[in-house]
Structure 1
């Protein structure tokens, strides 16, 4: 499988050469550029460029020479921080400079946080008196400093291995080993195997878990623009079968054999072959799909959101059914891992997705939970959602996968919404019962153990509107009391909120007062930014005795700002009072239950007054214009009559 042009790689490579004084840095660079040796070389060369056709990858190289003197340390640090790769030199005839590689220079690179490939180069090989095995000397250093890509010795005077130095440095940038291969275990890294598995699956058109000759040839043409001859296909399979019998079966090359073949390329120094394949399918050095490969979703206004299209939902239902091996309508952890085995990792292993949905006692996902996770990921990170759809086999553009909702400001004017996924912000003071309410959406049992919420958390589930016979997806986003100020410091933070609830402990007067303060803060922010939304008060812990004036005070608060009376719930007694249906209903009617402060009413009244005044002025001007026109017509007729 020969190499070829690789899409998506860098357009240039910047290599910085460092090392002790008089180790041969400048002579190395001069010999590489001129392909001759000169004894008269300046102490520090200006930037040197090797043209694109100097090496097979057709990528130009800029080589930066440096001074190791103390007065130039600042400049050296600046150059190193701009490097794509570092060539670190020692002199073969000066053993102390070799010792300095591990005792000073490699630590210095780490201190400066230079995280690029390093090529160790022994210069002045022609002057070395004492013979030693470079591999034995460098092996412990390379184990300690994984950033070292390779080691090589050369001679500028004899023009020995000079081009190879910068070839290896460029290759380390364009085709890095670290993301693909573990040198210690001599095996492909997990993320590399997952990327290669995705590519294998794309070409396994008959889905028999093997690439037959035709499929293998399709792969070759796609990646390398040239077909394999029948004898070459036989040769490839024979190599695999001799080393790994299970790598080939009667149907063709198995996934095990496909992965083995790429490990073999890397072991034999042909890592560019594997990178050619990965680049062809859009992978970056981090083994994720590059931004330029993703069909990016359209830009949206702050009060718009992304939802999956019906086409994408049907695709996901099919995926669910395919990976539900035992057909129990639940994806177990092993089945979920298999489903995402062609993605860099499972996207739901960390917050905010890990504990965001209802799971079975054994940790499995129902179809509803599975689709809810996708709805949440699409809402919060549409690019990530789109990438993961592609990783698991979705092969369409962004428009077929994602819908942009209508602006909430328009929904409010039209007094209806077309959204299927609603995001609800959950505010409230500490110990009000916010987290318990979130857990109840997932059907989790109540716990008396209080665990303070220190960061935002999400839960998501499908809510059935029995009256309308519809299903909507509800996302609850808990905002810790300490995080409200930070949230509201972003003027667009409320734009994504479809409905907000303010939870308070119905047995605590302080809790109600604090919840009403938060409600007022959010209301003011919404009025000032134009991102007002329906708001509801939720009186939690209704199983506890309320204080004497609780009902009266809460009703007065709601009446003062024009929202519905509080919804009383007791998560402990599982008396939720249809709170989630009421939240969905409020989100579906974005013009109702929108709180107003006195200042907001005054602004609204002023705007209406100005609007009426403008209409009055416009009507008056139009009347005067019509009157003038009529007078002119009358005058014209009178003049003609006389």
Structure 2
């Protein structure tokens, strides 16, 4: 809502007197032709806005100044005297056409001054009939209201300026067609959407509890039971079709707002519209759809527990047939609250989990929004607003560290400038995986299998980035992996430092039956700085005959040199996936375990620590040898002594024993 209003007064008589009467709260007979601009502070106005009142001159020499003031004004008051037919005629013969010629489209208020003279001459010129004003208001839709007042009697003077404020803050023109006396289509459309948002059980009726929730949300006060009954009785009397046994339907709800507008309580309708994010043009405001959210460069955005709970509630509310899946009609019903599907190029619902009929399950619904939030949190913010998230939509999201609470640069690859993954396990729930590989390597089949889609033998080249998402259970904890596939000629993502920093896992796919498929991956790694990203190699089509790769070194040796795990062999055709997605999720939780730059930066195998260990083992070995030598020496001495004694007693000749005898 605006906090500053500029009111311009035009006409031939009475303008300065009205302004003076408002300020001095008394009638001043002789005032200057044009009084200076008056500023009224917000605390003394009913609408709590700063108000500037500008008096103007109708002299021809002041015409340029007049046009300038009209262009700056938010509302124009055309003043005439009820006892002067010429001044009244000027309103529609000069002033209103002048505004249109100048292209000025602001609310207009017709002000009939000197109403205190109306009884002076019964039937005289003071009796400007209402039916003379109505045709003018019908012709000029910009006229909000006609106010009669008297500066001399201080009658309706403050009310005049209050109506001028209201005409700007709570304009009638966008809501109501004064010629046909009906609500305008955009207003009816906005209020119908609000009705649907308040219909928590989706039965097309606002029951007492839902009406009270609506009342508290918009006006911070509940309705007493007798007040609720009074509302229903009012609708029942004038719009019987608007009420049912269950409560107020959308027809009755619109009828109530039509009554508010027709009875001059247009601010009530505007309070409702603004509570649900509508601006003066009856479109949802940008600040309501996309409020500012501070996301540091090393952080990303995920759904909060409140966000997941709300989207789960939306799923259940619109699952009309209760089959735990959203069919196309149910999805259309949900997205009718918004401009439509936000995933124009995401091949939704193929991008997420569906049941056998192709309908989106709750698992797939939450996975899709998890992906959307990670890739573009502003879109999720907007759709939380479209779906009627209670309170601040930012509460539906949370900002989390992308690679841990602290980061350092990698000395082994300073040119890349990429951030080092913290060795601690990640606390995030949603991770982004880039899937790359040569043409025909099986990337599409891999990510289709991830989204539990049936295998298709038909080959379709990847011409544009496609994305799938699903949840993976890792040691009892559910994590979401977003698999983003890139075509073999789309290497722009590998050239972008920012996009590489967003990547949590690089999935490098090659065809185990194509001898030249792995060399494509080796060339990618040699051409781009990828060592700072966790990596996993996947060999597809393991159901076919194995073909030795024409790469030097071969895949297993190549992986060993990077100190990462050997390629995982899978077959999407046979459904033999070797728990590859669980392995991916495990890597995203402990990225250091598959990051070449970190693994290669470890100390050499014969590091000081290892040398100490070897020395200790050698020491133990020497000690053991010494003990054995001492035992042998003891045995040898005793043996010689025994033989010598026996020989001496028998007179035998003693010889040194052979080595084989010992």
Do they fold alike, i.e. is TM over 0.5? yes
Who is 1:332 aligned against?
Answer: 327
Q: Secondary structure at the match of 1:273?
A: helix
CA distance in 1, matches of 2:309, 2:426: 23
The answer to whether the 8 A contact 1:372-1:461 is kept is yes
Who is 1:501 aligned against?
Answer: 507
Q: Secondary structure at the match of 2:434?
A: strand
Return the offset for 1:506: 8.8
Q: Secondary structure at the match of 2:49?
A: coil
CA distance in 1, matches of 2:133, 2:554: 80
Who is 1:85 aligned against?
Answer: 74
CA distance in 1, matches of 2:547, 2:177: 65
Query: 5+ residue gaps in structure 2?
Result: 23-27, 80-86, 115-124, 407-420, 608-662
Return the offset for 1:154: 8.8
Deviations 1:395-446 (A, max 9, x none): 7999996666565246954453344322213456899876665555432665
Provide closer, same or farther for how the CA distance between residues 121 and 294 of structure 1 changes in structure 2, counting only shifts above 3 A. closer
With structure 1 as the length reference, what TM-score do the two structures score? Answer: 0.62
The answer to whether the 8 A contact 2:570-2:578 is kept is yes
Return the offset for 1:250: 4.0
Who is 1:618 aligned against?
Answer: none
Q: Secondary structure at the match of 2:596?
A: coil
Q: Secondary structure at the match of 2:426?
A: coil
Provide closer, same or farther for how the CA distance between residues 265 and 590 of structure 1 changes in structure 2, counting only shifts above 3 A. same
Deviations 1:10-38 (A, max 9, x none): 4x2233759xxxx6599858844654797
Who is 1:105 aligned against?
Answer: 103
Provide closer, same or farther for how the CA distance between residues 222 and 541 of structure 1 changes in structure 2, counting only shifts above 3 A. closer
Aligned: 1:420 with 2:429? yes
Return the offset for 1:550: 4.0
Report which of the two structures shows the higher radius of gyration computed on alpha carbons.
Answer: 2
Taking the TM superposition and a 5 Å limit, the aligned residue runs for 1:140-219 are 150=144, 167=162, 170-176=165-171, 186-187=184-185, 188-199=187-198, 201=200, 209-212=205-208
Deviations 1:493-535 (A, max 9, x none): 44443212356789999997876666567636xx8xxxx4312
Who is 1:621 aligned against?
Answer: none
Which of 454, 466, 471 aligns to 1:462? It is 471
CA distance in 2, matches of 1:544, 1:291: 56
Deviations 1:580-615 (A, max 9, x none): 444324323301232339xx978x989xx9xxxxxx
Instruction: Specify which structure has the bigger relative contact order, considering alpha-carbon pairs within 8 angstroms and separated by 6 or more residues.
Output: 1
Provide closer, same or farther for how the CA distance between residues 120 and 162 of structure 1 changes in structure 2, counting only shifts above 3 A. farther
The answer to whether the 8 A contact 2:300-2:400 is kept is yes
Provide closer, same or farther for how the CA distance between residues 239 and 452 of structure 1 changes in structure 2, counting only shifts above 3 A. same
Return the offset for 1:153: 8.9
Who is 2:107 aligned against?
Answer: 119
CA distance in 1, matches of 2:232, 2:311: 35
Deviates more, 1:493-502 or 1:299-308: 299-308
Return the offset for 1:52: 2.9
Deviates more, 1:296-305 or 1:468-477: 296-305
Query: 5+ residue gaps in structure 1?
Result: 1-8, 107-116, 143-147, 610-642
CA distance in 2, matches of 1:245, 1:452: 58
Who is 1:472 aligned against?
Answer: 479
CA distance in 2, matches of 1:517, 1:427: 12
CA distance in 1, matches of 2:442, 2:558: 20
Taking the TM superposition and a 5 Å limit, the aligned residue runs for 1:265-344 are 265-277=260-272, 302-303=298-299, 305-309=301-305, 313=308, 317=312, 320-321=315-316, 323-336=318-331
Provide closer, same or farther for how the CA distance between residues 229 and 452 of structure 1 changes in structure 2, counting only shifts above 3 A. closer
CA distance in 1, matches of 2:36, 2:175: 35
Taking the TM superposition and a 5 Å limit, the aligned residue runs for 1:231-630 are 233-254=228-249, 256-277=251-272, 302-303=298-299, 305-309=301-305, 313=308, 317=312, 320-321=315-316, 323-336=318-331, 348=342, 354-355=348-349, 356-359=351-354, 364-380=359-375, 405=400, 408-409=403-404, 412-426=421-435, 438-442=447-451, 443=453, 446=456, 448=459, 450=461, 452-453=463-464, 458-463=467-472, 471-478=478-485, 493-502=499-508, 519=525, 523=529, 532-536=532-536, 550-552=550-552, 555=555, 563-564=564-565, 580-596=581-597
Name the Cα RMSD after superposition. 6.1
Return the offset for 1:308: 3.8
Provide closer, same or farther for how the CA distance between residues 57 and 591 of structure 1 changes in structure 2, counting only shifts above 3 A. same
Which of 36, 47, 52 aligns to 2:42? It is 52
Return the offset for 1:224: 4.9
CA distance in 2, matches of 1:101, 1:476: 58
The answer to whether the 8 A contact 1:348-1:354 is kept is no
CA distance in 1, matches of 2:367, 2:283: 27
Return the offset for 1:369: 0.9
Who is 2:656 aligned against?
Answer: none
Provide closer, same or farther for how the CA distance between residues 208 and 245 of structure 1 changes in structure 2, counting only shifts above 3 A. same
Return the offset for 1:276: 3.0
Return the offset for 1:372: 1.0
CA distance in 1, matches of 2:519, 2:74: 60
The answer to whether the 8 A contact 1:288-1:344 is kept is no
Q: Secondary structure at the match of 1:57?
A: coil
Return the offset for 1:242: 2.3
Q: Secondary structure at the match of 1:15?
A: strand
Deviations 1:600-632 (A, max 9, x none): 978x989xx9xxxxxxxxxxxxxxxxxxxxxxx
Provide closer, same or farther for how the CA distance between residues 270 and 29 of structure 1 changes in structure 2, counting only shifts above 3 A. farther
Return the offset for 1:273: 0.9
The answer to whether the 8 A contact 1:586-1:593 is kept is yes
Provide closer, same or farther for how the CA distance between residues 220 and 567 of structure 1 changes in structure 2, counting only shifts above 3 A. closer
CA distance in 2, matches of 1:391, 1:385: 10
The answer to whether the 8 A contact 2:289-2:385 is kept is no
CA distance in 2, matches of 1:583, 1:180: 55
Return the offset for 1:211: 3.4
CA distance in 1, matches of 2:528, 2:76: 57
Who is 1:113 aligned against?
Answer: none
Q: Secondary structure at the match of 2:593?
A: coil
Provide closer, same or farther for how the CA distance between residues 497 and 14 of structure 1 changes in structure 2, counting only shifts above 3 A. farther
Q: Secondary structure at the match of 1:368?
A: helix
